[in-house]
A and B are shown apart, each in its own frame.
Chain A
């Protein structure tokens, strides 16, 4: 056992995961190794059509066998049909013990539960979600789930930590020689950012599309020379679950209050000036922060440089209005973002490698001024938990949390102090997802706590005069006063989840819940 830099006691080896590289600090692991990638191949002009009749034909042609690793992207979100269809086909073909390596999973993938229980799937790496997370937390897997961030995942792929045997890439539009795009088609999802590293590095790449077009496809995002096979299917997803319609800014007063506090902090810092770059999630508080910041940009005549990350209509409108020069889009959340990426050259698709990989010559998060993120819990050391819930169940992935927090000049966590009776500011988080050393401020309805290592921000906030400053200890004590003491989560010793930091070290582990 070793106590790592986040104060967690972690075993030196974990059954089903292997040897642990301990987290020593957010910038302490030097990169190692080289990028080589997939084995070379040649397709001569005698084969000018890569289409195969169905998924099973593609699975056979790909050489996929029991025990191999298959990958998927999550751009079709809760509307995705492809992950379930591919694993169903594998099951029918008698393939077992698969490691699935998705960029994220959604509720729709609850369907995989039976394949986990009957041994078609041995392990999940990358992300969990609700029902599958619950299953994992109760000990439903023989080997631990490995959670990686949006930047940690391409790092693991490009450095060879994870070898993808077959990448199945859902493609809203493809031609028969394997040029792919998400920008158009009935199942259009905009950016295919998370699929790029898989296309580049997987030993075999199978595109699955419901919109096969004449060669060459328009708006090509993933080019033909990465793609081995193309499978046309009836539908790759349900458009209603792929993109949301218009996202409205919340009227919920508590969220607005928290958002206003966050916006005041942003406006008080030196980053709030011409050229500011900005990232927020699409959640209620985040979007409201963006709305207040937009208001302040208009009032003070400030023009930003770029909006990053998951792009919504809100950011598209800000660019149209001239408040951003460009959007760097790893994931398009709604119809307006999908339309914009297809039409506007200033709306640029970026890969996850480009977005957040710490092991390249510089990823986009490094150029970020301000990011607004959420949390399930924060603690006295500003550590953030986004993976586990109050009952100890591991229900969420890391997303870009670690990456943007580490990259941005100003990392703001917004969270209500309480959710019902559950406190969100605690002595010590149940799981460290993002270390406190890369978090600058925690914003709640009870005030704004700035990390003491950012005295410059504290001074700027004091100077501004309208930021309700408190200390983290005050927030924790306030929460305790309101909720009373909690009984601890009861767990077994067995580790069911490994939380990797973006550099591939282990920052924390999650244990199996005790049966009630």
Chain B
């Protein structure tokens, strides 16, 4: 399974892992971390918006959050997706 990752678990950062899914399966997002109870919706939106901007239609995203704001989350999603695009299936 093709996968790529970006970010750290330092304070105000997150680790975003993106994994290949079958074409047509769409976007699935899983999140964990303390801010999710109050910011889960915002985080979902930030992630979806970034994927849309990057033209990604089918992908599975997993976010381990340690207090990242939208700015950081979006930067990490973008970095993970760009790495993903550069990664060859092993």
Contact = CB atoms under 8 A, between A and B. Distances in A.
Is there any pair of Cβ atoms, one from A and one from B, under 8 angstroms apart in the complex? Answer: yes
Interface of A: 390-391, 418-422, 482-487, 489
Contacts of A419: 67
Contacts of A390: 34-35, 37-38
Contact of A422 (B41, B42, B67): B67
Contacts of B37: 390-391, 487, 489
B66 to A, nearest CB: 6
B58 interface: no
A484 B42 contact: yes
Contacts of A489: 37-38
B89 interface: no
Rank and list the top 10 A-B pairs by shortest CB-CB distance, nearest first.
Answer: A420-B67, A421-B35, A486-B38, A391-B37, A421-B67, A484-B42, A487-B41, A390-B38, A421-B69, A421-B39
B42 A420 contact: no
Interface in B65-90: 65-70
Nearest to B46: A484
B82 to A, nearest CB: 24
A159 B12 CA distance: 48
Nearest to B37: A391
Given A420-B12, A420-B34, A486 B39 contact: yes
Given A484-B42, A487-B42, 6 more contacts: A420-B11, A421-B38, A421-B68, A483-B39, A484-B39, A489-B38
A319 to B, nearest CB: 36
A270 B81 CA distance: 58
Interface of B: prevailing SS: mixed
Nearest to A419: B67
A487 B72 CA distance: 19
B66 A422 contact: no
9 contacts: A390-B37, A391-B34, A418-B67, A420-B34, A422-B67, A483-B69, A484-B70, A486-B38, A487-B40
Interface string B2-17: 0000000001100000
A422 B66 CA distance: 11
A266 B42 CA distance: 39
Contacts of B35: 390, 420-422
Contacts of B39: 421, 483-484, 486-487
A484 B43 CA distance: 10
Given A420-B12, A421-B35, A485 B42 contact: yes
Given A420-B11, A420-B12, A421-B12, A482 B69 contact: yes
Nearest to B11: A420
B43 to A, nearest CB: 9
A272 B35 CA distance: 40
B39 to A, nearest CB: 6
A248 B23 CA distance: 57
Nearest to A483: B69
B54 to A, nearest CB: 21
Contacts of B34: 390-391, 420, 422
A418 B40 CA distance: 17
A159 B17 CA distance: 60
A420 B12 CA distance: 5
Which interface residue of A418, A484, A489 has the most chain B CB atoms within 10 A? A484
Contacts of B65: 421
Nearest to A391: B37
Interface in B17-65: 34-35, 37-42, 65
Contacts of A420: 11-12, 34-35, 66-67
A422 B12 contact: no
A63 B41 CA distance: 55
Given A420-B11, A420-B12, A484 B69 contact: yes
B38 A391 contact: yes
B77 to A, nearest CB: 16
Contacts of A391: 34, 37-38
B60 to A, nearest CB: 22
Contacts of B40: 487
Contacts of B11: 420
A50 to B, nearest CB: 50
Contacts of B38: 390-391, 421-422, 486-487, 489
Nearest to A488: B38
B46 to A, nearest CB: 8
Contacts of A482: 69
Contacts of B68: 421
Nearest to A254: B11
Nearest to A392: B37
Nearest to B13: A420
Which interface residue of A418, A420, A487 has the most chain B CB atoms within 10 A? A420
A485 B40 CA distance: 11
A98 B40 CA distance: 40
Contacts of A485: 42
Contacts of B41: 487
Nearest to B34: A420
A485 B41 CA distance: 9
